[in-house]
Each structure stands twice: as C-alpha cells, then as structure tokens.
Amino acid sequence: MSILITGGSGYIGSHTVVELLSNNEDIIIVDNFSNSNKVSLDRIKQITNKEFKFYNVDCTDEKELEKVFKENNIESIIHFAAYKAVGESVYEPLKYYINNINSTLNILNLMKKYDVKNFVFSSSATVYGNPHKFPITEDFPLSTTNPYGATKLMIEDILKDIAKVDKSFNVAILRYFNPVGAHISGLIGEDPNGIPNNLMPYISQVAVGNLEKLNVFGGDYDTHDGTGVRDYIHVVDLAIGHVKALEKLRTNCGLVIYNLGTGNGYSVLDMVKAFEDASAKKVNYQIVARREGDVPMCYADSTKANKELGWKAKFGLKEMCEDTWRWQSKNPNGYR
Ligand SMILES: NC(=O)c1ccc[n+]([C@@H]2O[C@H](COP(=O)([O-])OP(=O)(O)OC[C@H]3O[C@@H](n4cnc5c(N)ncnc54)[C@H](O)[C@@H]3O)[C@@H](O)[C@H]2O)c1
C-alpha cells in the first residue's frame, strides 16, 4: 500500500516525503512542476537513499490522475498541490479557484471511486481571517480576506460535508502557520519563483546578495516593535506533523483539525535580527506602507496536536535561520 503525495516536489511536500521515506513508507509523488523544480526529487533521493514513483500529472486533469489510482494500491493521500500566493490570488482569483478547488475535487472523486479512505489536507492559518484574540485555537471563527484563503476554507467545508455522511472517511485538516527553514543537509529548501512573497526567503535572498533590501510592510502595528508578528515553524517540524497525522488517520478517527505552529510570535524585525546572527550577514531593510490584507499578529495554540498526535515543534528560531541560510548559501539560485 502506498501514500500518494500531491505537490511532493514543492517546499513542504519534499520535506514531508523525506520524513515518510525515513519511516519506510512507500511513496508516490504527483506534481506538474508549476511551482517547483524536478531537481528537488533527485535531492530527496540523495538525502534518503530511497526510491519512489513519480508522475508528472496536473491534478486538475482527472483522466491523467486516474491512471495513478489505477496503477497503484493507494492507502492514504497527502494533498499539498495548490497555488499559494495570497497577493496573486487577489489579481487572478479564477486561476486559484480552478487549480486549488478542481484538483481537490478530482482527488476526492477518485478516492471515492477507488475506495481510498485517508486524506491529509494542507490548510492554513489564513482561514482564521483577522483573529480577535491570541493564541488561536482550532475552534475560532473562520473567515478569509483573499481568494487563496477562500479556496482553503471552501475545501475545509467540502471535507466536513463528506465526513458527515461517510463515517469511514478519515481526514486531517492541518492548519499551518508560517513554515520556514530547510532540511539540515542544505539539499532541499524553499525555492520561490521570482521575487519571494514570504518573509524568510526574502531575507535570505537579501543576505545572499540576490536582492538589495527587504521591504518591511508596516512599522506602526500594535506589536512590540511595530512590525507584524507571525508564528514561524520549521518545515521539518511541519513535515513530522504529517507523519503523525497519518498515524492518527490509520486509527479510523474520522475528521480531525489541528493547528501546526510553535505558539511563539516573532516580529519581522526579530526575524531580521535572528537571521543576521545565524548568517553573519547584514540584512538591509526599509519600513514601507502596510500591505493590504495583512493582519497585525497571528500565532497558534497547538495544544490539541500535542495532546492528540503527540506532536510538538522542536526547532527554535536559531535552527530555522541557520538551516535557511545553509540552504540559501549552498544554493544561491535555488535549484536552478
Ligand atoms: N508555504 C506556506 O507558507 C504555506 C502556509 C499554509 C499552507 N500552505 C499550503 O501547503 C501546501 C504546500 O505549500 P508549499 O509551500 O510546499 O508550496 P509549493 O508551491 O512549494 O508546493 C506546491 C506544489 O504543488 C505543485 N502543484 C500545484 N498545482 C498543481 C497541480 N494542479 N497538479 C500537480 N501539482 C501541482 C507545485 O508544482 C508545487 O510543487 C499548499 O497547499 C499551500 O497552500 C503553505
């Protein structure tokens, strides 16, 4: 029996595949490289010394995707494949609705047809909208401020509807906070196309000399230094969260929802300072106007994942920055 990983060549997917292979799981990856590079697959093999099956398939193409279900005995699915740029989703909403929703519907439909019962879904802290207090627990009200977030919320609703009527359907909705860092080998890491949307790759590209300076969006938020506060989580901790979620699904748990964060809120300037310490490089920055749609603060209460999955983030800010820097300095142009 195999685990199908959609989007397994991407940032979080590749790190999760490494953890699953290290746990001797049998893996199949589906990716269309719309936001990743096939070199990441070679690097996974280099790290783990293990083989896996790969299909270059677009998940919105149900016919092609069905071949993967036909040719394999799939036990569980971890569904990472999606577009994820919040800003772009505002300008190209249809692109996001088509890719993120259609991919998921195709997979769910094929799961039904081929009687696959376990599904892990990549959701996001963005489904909490602008939270009214902190830390955020899983029972907070849900809302979104952009089309990307709307796709995550819609899919959560679809999964809840299915779980209501199919008691044999096991689904883990994992709400990630802000994934950063890289595998300790420095062989895989975050490799955004073009100018990064997220803070950490932006900082690391300034440090390595690819970008001139960091624009810090907003210096007048009601936070300890005026810049936005987020819950950064090491991508390897996040990957291990998926291994634990899979174990949970195998107990026939039905639908479960977990926040995956550290519970620590760090500001943009905290991150700049920590990165400068880890890399011994200066990170030039300037404070500019707030960015529309950004919330001042966001951090998780992950007690539920700790209690029910036995999962807790173990890497701190120092490792997040050191591992990012190792990846970035060894691969100044990412996988290219
Ligand atoms: N990175 C974050 O900050 C973050 C935060 C919360 C949630 N998420 C979610 O986690 C998941 C993984 O994120 P990531 O950071 O690894 O992103 P990523 O872009 O690095 O990985 C996504 C992968 O999916 C592939 N893909 C996209 N559409 C596809 C399709 N139609 N068919 C086949 N492959 C397709 C891309 O080529 C890429 O390899 C996404 O669903 C994302 O929305 C990410």
Any idea of the CA torsion for 265, 267, 273, 274, to the nearest 10 degrees?
A: 20
Looking up tokens 């919320």 gives 153
> What is the whole-number distance in angstroms between the Cα of residue 58 and the centre of ligand 1?
13
pLDDT tens digits along 95-153: 999 999 999 999 999 999 999 999 999 999 999 998 989 999 999 999 998 999 999 99
Query: Hey, which of 15, 16, 30, 31 would you mutate to test ligand 1's pocket, going by the most ligand atoms within 8 Å of its Cβ?
Result: 31
Report pLDDT for 137.
98
Delimit the domains of the chain by residue range: 2-180+233-262+299-314
Q: Mean pLDDT of all residues in the chain? A: 97
Q: What is the mean pLDDT of residues 14-36?
A: 98
Q: Predicted confidence band at 295 (pLDDT cuts at 50, 70, 90)?
A: confident
The structure tokens listed for 252 are: 């026939």
- Phi, psi for 41 (deg, rounded to 5): -70, -40
Is the CB–ligand 1 distance for residue 89 below 6 Å?
no
pLDDT tens digits along 199-221: 999 999 999 999 999 999 999 99
Residue 4 has pLDDT above 90, yes or no: yes
Is the CB–ligand 1 distance for residue 102 below 6 Å?
no
> What is the whole-number distance in angstroms between the Cα of residue 8 and the centre of ligand 1?
8
134: Cβ contacts below 8 Å, ≥ 6 apart:
265, 297, 298, 299
> What is the whole-number distance in angstroms between the Cα of residue 295 and the centre of ligand 1?
22
Is the CB–ligand 1 distance for residue 148 below 6 Å?
no
Is the CB–ligand 1 distance for residue 81 below 6 Å?
yes
- DSSP calls for 281-324: ----EEEEPPPTT--SEE-B--HHHHHHH-------HHHHHHHH
Q: What is the mean pLDDT of residues 170-196?
A: 97
2-180+233-262+299-314 folds as: Rossmann fold (3.40.50)
> What is the whole-number distance in angstroms between the Cα of residue 84 and the centre of ligand 1?
6
Is the CB–ligand 1 distance for residue 175 below 6 Å?
no
At 117, is the secondary structure helix, strand, or coil? Answer: coil
Contact, 52 vs 95, CB < 8 A?
A: no
Report pLDDT for 175.
98
pLDDT tens digits along 78-104: 999 999 999 899 999 999 999 999 999
pLDDT tens digits along 234-265: 999 999 999 999 999 999 999 999 999 999 99
Active-site residues: which are they?
A: 148
Contact, 308 vs 245, CB < 8 A?
A: no
Q: Is the pTM value of this prediction over 0.85?
A: yes
